[in-house]
Amino acid sequence: MGRKQLAGIIAAAALGVLVVGYGAAFAFAGDKIPGDTTVLGIPIGGLSKDAAKAKLDAGLKDRIAAPIALKAGESKFTVAPADAGLTVDVDATVEAAGAGRSLSPARIWHALTGGDAVEPVVDKDDARLKAAIDKLAAQVNRPATEGTITFKGTEPVTHQPAPGLQLDAAKAPAAVVAAYPSDGNPKDLPVGVTQPKAGNDAIKKALTDFAEPAMSGPVRLTVGTKSVELQPAEIAPALTLTAQDGQVIPALRTKTLEPLFQQRFKALETLPKDATVQIVGAGPKVIPAVDGMVVDRTKVGAAILAILPKPTGERRAAVPLTPTKAKFTTEQATALGITEKMGDFQTQFPHAPYRNTNIGTAARKINGTLLKPNETFSLNKIVGERTKENGFTEGYIISGGKFEKDLGGGVSQSATTTFNAAFFAGLKVLEHKAHSVYISRYPVGREATVAWPNVDLKFLNDSGHGILVQTVFKPSTPGNSGSIRVIIWGTKVWDITAGQSAKTNFRQPVVQYNPAAGCEAQAPTPGFDITIFRYFAKNGARVKTEQFTTKYNAANDIRCGPKPGTTPTPPPGGTTTPPGRVKPPTKPAS
């Protein structure tokens, strides 16, 4: 065998070894990902494509939906990935990691020995990402904060200036994408910084030159020979010093001080009085408006600011008065046209001290009520809650078809009388409710009860002119009835008459025995239905008709004590009242 033949055999053998080794390496590497590969810290090296996808899906499950943590300066923000249209493409990420078979020796070698950290492939929706950036900018962007001085009590409190931030809208999308998926540690946003115009030195100077002297003592405001003092503690809540254009400017919120001004300036000014309409003698009269002279609110703030930094002995300023017209003029009051009676009604009530108190109190509160066109009368609003503090006492009311004692019993007499006055004045009744049982001293079907706060009497002044409600109250005495009269003045529009149907659907009362200690006996009254008609006429001709139906319940015959033939249960430590009927007095409520 020659040398050439031997060399050929050796070369062939070597090639065979290489081919066998290459085949073995190719078979071992397969379609596996390079051994040291990680994605966001998740090792996927040595795994097949499918196994790597499954591991990434599990490992990124929580992170891909977690809010993206961001920061700008000392402020932190978050963006929801779904709002920004961001998702991780796991398939593309695994491909980018080098998964898949290859005949390339370099690829096989890399699969066996290589691998490194691979960034996830992020898909984005550009439109949603832009919307998220715009929303983020609204949170991030802030102007530079100029220094201010406010007051806690009378002590000045300084607030140092702070730089402003402006999100770089061009670079922000890439920064948000780069921060996704978030590891919970905020990533920096690209921002520009703007500096305040006035520095700390200006705030220090304002503190020394203005804030501290401002709280050193009272200021005195004068009008002629009259004067008032305002104390530092009264001024401080409205005083602020703010840096503007490199300087610190004091400001006084005079609206905050207006309640104080109204109280303290009474000695300096004469307030205007609105015109009104009142009953004078036998009828209504316009009471003219009176113009006033009040402290000029447009100049008082500047006057106070001018003297606040001054030392004791110089903390005084004159404030001007300005003529101020009444808001409701004499001409406007005259134009209301309140000249004649529109409706007039009177009811009487039997003597009871509580009725004198409650009906009288309600009458005084209603008296003089002035309604401009399209304004609404509300008895509850005008009379107020029936409390002792509001002038009312306990009296009989109707509750659940029974007479009971409660504050304000009797006020419904005022409501019924006012309702009828409005009825005959032709005004639009918005809300009224009849008593649940019929009370004989009221016009049948044409009456009203009230209860705080939900049961009200309301009517609308739809006359086109003003109206004035007058009440005339006469208290009762033992043996003599009392009365309440309600007159509605204005410009008469309608001639009103009333009519009614026959009573129908009678409901008979039943006998009830009540052994309770607080029992209130009650006389029986049948229930029934009745329809009321209101006829509107002009110049003797009927124009329209309104109607409403009232349904009265029966007032049961309530007898105090046990039912005859039953054995009463004695109260603890005492005896029972002998059985039998106690004759119930008639106790009309309200």
In sequence order, what are the residues at sequence separation of 6 or more whose Cβ sits closer than 8 angstroms to the Cβ of residue 442? 347, 416, 435
Longest dimension (CA), the chain: 161
Distance, in Å, from the CA atom of 437 to the CA atom of 574, rounded to the nearest integer, reads 36
Which of 275, 274, 277, 337 lies closest to 470, judged by CA? 277
Residue 194 is predicted with a pLDDT of 84
Report angle CA 532, 534, 537 to the nearest 5 degrees: 160
Q: How many Å apart are CA 569 and CA 348, to the nearest integer? A: 43
Nearest-angstrom CA–CA distance, 158 and 141: 24
**What gap in Å lies between CA 248 and CA 197, rounded to an integer?**
10
CA dihedral 454, 457, 460, 461 (to 10 degrees): -140
Q: By the 8 A CB rule, do 340 and 441 touch?
A: no
Two structure tokens written together for 401: 């078809």
Residue 395, exposed/middle/buried by CB under 10 A (0-12, 13-18, 19+)? buried
Q: Which helix (H) or strand (E) is 550 found in, with range?
A: strand 541-552
Contact 60, 66 (CB under 8 A): no
pLDDT at 531: 97
For residue 398, the model assigns a pLDDT of 58
Block residue for tokens 């639009």: 428
Closest CA to 490 of 469, 474, 511: 469
Task: Report DSSP letters for 558-584, one per residue.
Answer: EEESPPTTS-PPPPTTS-PPPSSPPPP
Whole-number Å distance between alpha carbons of 304 and 300: 6
pLDDT of 570:
58
* DSSP tag of 533: E
Query: Which amino acid, one-letter code, is at 129?
Result: L
Q: Say what the alpha-carbon torsion angle 290, 294, 297, 303 is, to the nearest 10 degrees.
A: 170
Could you tell me if 460 and 466 are in contact, meaning their C-beta atoms sit under 8 angstroms apart? Answer: no
Nearest of 380, 395, 470, 492 to residue 432 by alpha carbon: 380
Name residues of the chain where pLDDT drops below 50. 9, 11-30, 100-112, 114, 573-589
By the 10 Å C-beta count (0-12 exposed, 13-18 middle, 19+ buried), 532 is classed as buried
Q: Which of 327, 199, 221 is nearest to 271 (CA)?
A: 327
Q: Which two tokens stand for residue 193?
A: 């910084």
Q: Report pLDDT for 24.
A: 38
Give the number of other Cβ atoms within 10 Å of residue 101's Cβ: 14
pLDDT at residue number 263: 94
Given this model, what pLDDT does residue 389 score?
A: 92
- Alpha helical stretches, state H, 229-350: 232-235, 254-264, 297-307, 330-335
SS3 assignment, position 174:
helix
For 174, phi then psi, to 5°, come to -65, -35
Establish how many alpha carbons lie within 13 A of residue 172's alpha carbon, considering only the half-sphere containing its beta carbon: 27
Question: Token match 């001085």: residue?
Answer: 149
In angstroms, the CA 165 to CA 286 distance is: 64
Alpha-carbon torsion, ordered 377, 382, 383, 389, to 10 deg: 170
Six-digit token pair at 481?
Answer: 């009835």
Integer Cα distance of 331 and 262 in angstroms = 27
For 265-278, give the secondary structure using H, E and C: HHHCCECCECCEEE
Q: Tell me the whole-structure pTM to 2 decimals.
A: 0.61
| pLDDT of res. 565 | 77
